[in-house]
């Protein structure tokens, strides 16, 4: 394997001199950066749900529950942590599992006690909306990354976007005067 002096420098596979191509690449990169931001918000929600569950379990427990409510909240919070950890390797799967856990938990609670359906409805709507938006953004991110891979963009930038990090815009190279 041959190494070069420019190995650490991110350069495109070929010089991009067409201004329209640079605009298309930068538009894709802007979309990708927006999608990564929304997907990160979904991940943050999944990491925040265990805290909400433990706090809610602590304040809802009484002397007759013998700490089972707090234990159940901690176990369910652990499921959310696993779901959030899955997003580092499988973004869409982790977000979908987290959304299904959240919806199934609150659906089961609503079946057992219908009054719980309206308790904290705005928080429930915000969480479901954020996770739904994050799932949609993760799908769009996958599609836009596939489109970006067709252009002469360094593979390091594509990997950077897969890790939900912002990627820099492409600079236009001026054509040499003939």
Widest pairwise Cα distance in the chain: 87
Provide the residue-wise pLDDT of the chain in tens; the chain has 178 residues: 444 444 444 445 566 667 888 889 999 999 999 999 999 999 999 999 999 888 887 777 666 656 777 788 888 899 999 999 999 999 999 999 999 999 999 999 899 988 888 888 999 999 999 999 999 999 999 999 999 988 888 888 889 988 889 888 877 655 555 4
What are the structure tokens assigned to 56, written together?
Answer: 């809610």
This prediction has a pTM of 0.81
If we measure between CA atoms, which residue out of 52, 126, 124, 138 comes closest to residue 95?
138
Tokens standing for residue 123:
């928080």
């Amino acid at each position: 394997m041959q190494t070069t002096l420019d190995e650490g420098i991110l350069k495109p596979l070929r010089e991009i001199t067409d201004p329209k191509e640079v605009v298309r690449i930068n538009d894709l990169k802007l979309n990708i950066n927006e999608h990564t931001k929304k997907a990160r918000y979904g991940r943050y929600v999944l990491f925040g749900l265990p805290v909400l569950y433990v706090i809610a379990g602590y304040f809802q427990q009484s002397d007759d529950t013998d700490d089972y409510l707090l234990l159940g909240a901690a176990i369910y919070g652990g499921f959310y942590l696993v779901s959030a950890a899955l997003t580092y390797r499988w973004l869409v799967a982790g977000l979908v599992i987290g959304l299904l856990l959240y919806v199934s938990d609150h659906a089961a609670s609503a079946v057992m006690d219908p009054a719980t359906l309206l308790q904290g409805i705005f928080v429930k709507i915000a969480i479901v909306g954020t996770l739904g938006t994050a799932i949609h953004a993760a799908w769009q991110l996958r599609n836009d990354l596939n489109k970006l891979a067709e252009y002469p963009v360094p593979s390091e930038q594509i990997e950077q976007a897969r890790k939900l990090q912002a990627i820099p815009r492409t600079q236009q190279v001026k054509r040499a005067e003939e």
